[in-house]
Chains A and B, each alone.
Chain A
């Protein structure tokens, strides 16, 4: 699977990856779901147009049950920064049922020769989305998903993942110092190069300050030894608009500390879906 993805996204070899996609498979990217035989052509044509031929600087995989998560760190030919691309596959290791992909479009824009607007215009049109308003409070009902509730309290990563989740879900920013290694490497959307953990503090704070009634929801967790992948999203109100921002986070946990955190969202697709949002201004 890894080779198929790398060959498709660096050489344009779509035949191998296409052969692994089920007829019923979908590819979700930029808040749109693509079905049918043309889906991979569409994704790859757009990728090569914007990014050109890239090389893989690094990769990371997380395999758990039918989840297979691939994180590629790519570098464009002009060596103008890196681009993080994460593929969350549902697979039985023989065929692929679905792909939920997140490309850091802010990094892509920085590495690309195109204007921001050109890139934004070229992204897929998002699917119609209604985010029904809801009560984001729990009222002691135990209705909120925490990592330990999804993976079980006895899982050896449960405590640290709950600590990590509290940073986002409860703005418990002190947990950054508590659960991250002093030299932890942080990759956040739009940053050209990896950063220190102080940036994570600012990033979480900047989102928290711009939203009211914010709520974070876990979708899936995949654990493969020290590597953890988490699919989740941030909801919140910006005045009268309810926004939704999907994320994928990849954590490396060593000696009970987070040593590497890659948290990616698709900023240009988000801005295209929510043009009045000031979340990334």
Chain B
């Protein structure tokens, strides 16, 4: 990353066109769009008017109308799906995963908060970053344990590559630590339960490759040549590099407004620069040598007249784990890895709102798995 890059206030205004924007729209309006088609959408069903419409309507059909089998229509037969805790690449796995989640949380409501998209170029499809608030009641056994019969809320960011009416690649991050706390489960108890679930053979291979890549500060293999707003990319790279790699928290005021609002995993809420700095510092203290890579950036205008834009960033972080928490300290020195996603709203070139999502439950579960695996021969177990 270029450490000389500074955030710019010269935010370029991309043409918004008539692409659907969720913020002020009601659900019936979103499910029955009347506007003409605003994007080419080559190979997509004729009913969809743009990539946002596609994402919103297929999510509603699969999850809320419970047409789980539609995953077979809207996912490619081979579709790698990465989460911090699992890997799948067969559409049948997507179907069974969706079915199991609905079984555990039968009334799950998926509220689309934003879709920040990028046109990947002719015949290459679209990249969509979909931020969702879900509310749901835990009525069945889940990846976190037995049913709690409690209601929980969770923020998810699903980054998808969509080509010819199908999702062909997905990175899925969910704020599971916030969810399990509402369900009355300790985060580390959930992680220990999660760590017992066997993983796909390719998961560990992917995680180790990603740790090596991030340590070497190499870019993600998923890159596209189609240009996007240069200033948004520079801002994103600089934001991650300055705060996470260089740990120059004194520069936070070049990225955030004085009353910027931040939502981070597990219920971390901050407003204003002192508490935003505190949130990042306290979290990074568990991985003080952390290195991060900016893996993808999308940006769309939110309000062109007022100079407001939205940016979606997918990022990865790794480093040596170093927690002072009693239950976590036994994992100190192990490789810590985070697959993260952030949605930023920029007003006049600075962040006014930030939603950062990653799965702390899975991140700790990976530490537990690694610990148990390393100590298998000696018989030492973490739980």
Contacts and interface: CB of A to CB of B under 8 A. Distances in A.
Interface stretch (B96-104, B270-278, B322-330): B270-278
A277 B202 CA distance: 50
B283 A132 contact: yes
Interface stretch (A7-15, A111-119, A211-219, A260-268): A211-219
Interface in A124-145: 127-136, 138, 141-145
A132 B282 contact: yes
| A interface residue count range (under 10 / 10 to 19 / 20 to 34 / 35 or more) | 35 or more
A95 interface: yes
Nearest to A235: B275
Interface in B257-298: 258-259, 261, 266-275, 277-279, 281-283
A154 interface: no
A45 interface: no
A23 B109 CA distance: 10
B112 interface: yes
B275 A150 contact: no
B253 A141 contact: yes
A202 B17 CA distance: 56
B153 interface: yes
B143 to A, nearest CB: 19
Given A36-B135, A97-B23, A24 B113 contact: yes
B252 A143 contact: yes
Contact of B272 (A33, A128, A135, A217): A217
A220 interface: yes
A141 B283 CA distance: 22
Contacts of B135: 35-36
A44 B279 CA distance: 35
Contacts of B252: 143
Interface in A210-245: 215, 217-220, 233, 235
Contacts of A279: none
A92 interface: yes
B334 interface: no
A59 B218 CA distance: 59
Given A22-B26, A24-B113, A35 B277 contact: no
B181 interface: yes
A30 to B, nearest CB: 15
A97 B26 CA distance: 10
A264 B271 CA distance: 19
B273 A218 contact: no
B188 to A, nearest CB: 14
A178 interface: no
A214 B135 CA distance: 34
Contacts of A26: 133
B23 A142 contact: no
B153 to A, nearest CB: 6
Contact of B268 (A24, A130, A235): A130
A217 B275 contact: yes
Nearest to A39: B135
A229 to B, nearest CB: 14
A153 interface: no
A137 to B, nearest CB: 8
A46 to B, nearest CB: 15
Interface string A157-200: 00000000000000000000000000000000000000000000
Contacts of A133: 278, 282
Contacts of A233: 271
Contacts of B133: 24, 26, 35
Contacts of B258: 143-146, 149-150, 218
A140 to B, nearest CB: 11
Contact of A215 (B109, B113, B274): B274
Nearest to B252: A143
Contacts of B333: none
Given A35-B153, A144-B258, A128 B178 contact: yes
Interface in B1-31: 22-27
A184 to B, nearest CB: 26
A265 B111 CA distance: 29
Contacts of B25: 22
Given A95-B24, A97-B23, A127-B182, A217 B259 contact: yes
Contacts of A36: 109, 111, 135
Interface in B333-383: none
Contacts of A235: 275
Nearest to A65: B306
Contact of A218 (B112, B250, B259, B282): B259
A132 B111 contact: no
B107 to A, nearest CB: 9
B266 A128 contact: yes
Contacts of B111: 23-24, 35-36
B20 to A, nearest CB: 13
Contacts of B113: 24
Given A220-B259, A235-B275, A24 B253 contact: no
A130 B286 CA distance: 15
29 contacts: A22-B24, A22-B25, A24-B23, A26-B133, A36-B109, A36-B111, A92-B24, A94-B24, A97-B24, A127-B267, A128-B267, A131-B269, A132-B270, A132-B279, A132-B283, A134-B279, A136-B274, A143-B252, A143-B273, A144-B272, A144-B273, A149-B258, A150-B258, A215-B274, A217-B272, A217-B275, A218-B272, A220-B259, A235-B275
Interface of B: 22-27, 109, 111-113, 133, 135, 153, 178, 181-182, 250, 252-253, 258-259, 261, 266-275, 277-279, 281-283
Closest 5 interchain pairs by CB?
Answer: A134-B278, A128-B267, A23-B27, A145-B258, A128-B181
Given A135-B277, A149-B258, 11 more contacts: A22-B24, A94-B24, A129-B269, A132-B279, A133-B278, A134-B274, A143-B252, A144-B258, A150-B258, A150-B259, A218-B259
